[in-house]
Amino acid sequence: MSEREKIAGRLKEARVLSGLSQAQAATKMGLQRPAITEIEAANRKVSAEELLQFADLYKVNTSWLLGEEVLDGDETEEFQFAARELSKLKPEDIKKVFDILKILPK
């Protein structure tokens, strides 16, 4: 399954879940309805700008639309904690932390 098909599927899923018809989505996106049909059939590319628009319209993350790994709640908590703690360090010290990480057993 191609990236395009995966993105297409998520765009359709997001649209349906947001309760919009292709025609309504097209209007809000400033596109013709067939464009939505083709996008959801993976026959038409989606530009980076359109991706942002779609994410806004359908109320989803661009990362999710792109099929990237989404951190679950637990990991998000830890991620934010780690980032917050790291941000208290100087950039050079942050580098040191990452260097330590590289030495740690896998």
Least distance in angstroms from the C-beta of 106 to DNA: 34
68 binds, among DNA, its own copies, none (CB under 5 to 8 A by kind): its own copies
Q: Is 19 an interacting residue with respect to its own copies (CB under 8 A)?
A: no
The three-state DSSP-derived secondary structure of 17-35 is HCCCCHHHHHHHHCCCHHH
Contacting residue, 19, 30, 59, 101, with its own copies by CB under 8 A: 101
Contacting residue, 16, 31, 51, 57, with its own copies by CB under 8 A: 51
Q: Is 95 exposed, middle or buried (0-12, 13-18, 19+ CB in 10 A)?
A: exposed
Phi-psi region of 67 (alpha: psi -120 to 50; beta: other; left: phi over 0): left
Q: Is 41 an interacting residue with respect to its own copies (CB under 8 A)?
A: no
Residue number with CB closer to its own copies (40 or 50): 50
By CB under 7 A, name the binding residues for DNA. 16, 21-24, 31-35, 37-38, 40-41, 43-45, 47
Place of tokens 């989606």: 46
Q: What's the sign of the alpha-carbon dihedral 53, 21, 39, 63? A: positive
Contacting residue, 16, 29, 31, 66, with its own copies by CB under 8 A: 66
